[in-house]
Amino acid sequence: MIQCDSPYGQRNLSGCALTGFISRSGRRYSGDVIKKSICLLNDRGNGLGAGFAAYGIYPQYKDLYAFHIMYDNESAVATTEHYLHRHALIEHQELIRTHPVPGMEDHPTLKRYFLLPRHTEGDGAAARSEEQALQDDDLVVRMVMEINDRIEGAYVFSSGKNMGAFKGVGLPRDMAEFYRIDEYEGYIWTAHHRFPTNTPGWWGGAHPFTLLDWSIVHNGEISSYGINKRYLEMFGYRLTLLTDTEVITYLFDLLVRRHGLDIRTACTALAPPFWKDIEVMPEPERQRLTLLRQVYASAALNGPFAVLFAYNRGLVGFNDRIKLRPLVAGVKGDMVYMASEESAIRTICPDPERVWAPRAGEPLIAELYEGAVEREPAVEATA
């Protein structure tokens, strides 16, 4: 589905590039900034996938879910829109703005829909109760799963509020130009340049991977994909995107939104300490980590990885337990930067107050200051 031949070959040995930043005060920055950062890491990928995620880009529709959908054909468009009109109240829909780029003429149809889920056939926004609003996320997840699993030629690649993902097959600079990234302004940005390790390069398989407000960019390989996938399917998730990274996004949704774990605890469950280290810890920490490893044994991620995980209130970076993939962080003022190389930080922040490599298995969590987004700070063009 939504395949695209690439001029860059299928197995050019290389790495993956990831970069991101958050303005903790909620100041919004142009997509030019993240474009500059990811394009410096061009040699870490091979053109088989690139993408961006941004938060704060749809203030006029901030209370609605923004569905970004790729389509292979007109039949998929008609089938999906019939489904959406039955299950959602659509406030606005349009083609995603794009710009012609040489070599990317054969791309999917790209549309976005700003909507709220229906709780019953024919219900209206005015009739929504507080209890119904709390169920919206569950209904949206179900809609995403059903479209991606059941409608051939359609793929929901973004479904959060006041955020969006933009991705496909190509180099970062081409993808930024194609999606006109410089026209968006966000307070959190992440970007990725993909080297597909064991999976095909296709438009839906590029990073970021998203569900609701969660978005993931990932460098490495999840060797526990099989057991993670079976564990998620027990809770109703459907994994259809032909890549190991998909499990990380859904695991965060399960652990944080559905099971109520805080972000730090969820990261610990996904990249837990070794048993030999837990055994020598003092109580009650030893008991807490023992229980966490036992309860979430099938959710633990094995293999080499570095991950940037974003949501509407923050940005998180974390590694596997022995740091087999690079992750560097930097800080200046209210800005926190994370990337696979220090150069990607310094090209947009030449004089950071501090630069360091987070320790293996320990998440770096940068969240918005209280009330930051609500203040709607002025837009800045550069970081």
Q: Which residue has the tokens 């398989």?
A: 205
- pLDDT band, very low/low/confident/very high, at 296 (cuts 50, 70, 90): very high
Could you tell me if residue 243 is inside a domain? yes
Distance, CA of 331 to CA of 328 (rounded, Å): 11
* Count: domains in the chain: 1
Is residue 286 included in any domain, yes or no? no
> Distance between CA atoms of 345 and 118, rounded to whole angstroms?
43
Q: Report the SS3 class of residue 109.
A: strand
* Domain assignment of residue 9, yes or no: no
- Contact yes or no for 239/247 (Cβ under 8 A): yes
CATH of residue 216: 3.60.20.10
Say if residues 165 and 144 touch (Cβ distance below 8 Å).
no
Catalogue the active-site residues. 16
Query: Cα 373–40–365 angle (5° rounding)?
Result: 35
**Alpha-carbon distance 310 to 160, whole Å?**
11
pLDDT beyond 70 at 128: no
Q: Are 224 and 201 in contact (CB under 8 A)?
A: no
Alpha-carbon distance 337 to 328, whole Å? Answer: 8
Range of the domain at 204: 17-259+306-380
In a domain, 3, yes or no: no
Residue 371 lies in a domain: yes
Tens-digit pLDDT profile for residues 331-380: 999 999 999 999 999 999 999 999 999 999 899 999 999 877 654 444 44
Task: Write down the pLDDT at residue 338.
Answer: 97
Measured between alpha carbons, how far apart are the two ends of the chain, in Å?
Answer: 38
Mean pLDDT (whole number) for 124-134: 56
> Does residue 298 fall inside a structural domain?
no
Please name every residue paired with 319 in a beta bridge, in sequence order, or none if there are none: 306
CA geometry: angle 215, 218, 219, nearest 5 deg: 165
pLDDT-based confidence at residue 43 (cuts at 50, 70, 90): confident
Average pLDDT, the chain: 89
Whether 301 is in a domain gets the answer no
SS3 85: helix
Note whether residue 317 is domain-resident: yes
pTM of the model: 0.91
Distance CA 253, CA 47 (A): 29
Instruction: Please write the tens of the pLDDT for every residue from 195-210.
Output: 656 666 778 888 999 9
- In terms of DSSP bridges, do strands 328-332 and 354-356 run parallel, antiparallel, or are they unpaired? antiparallel
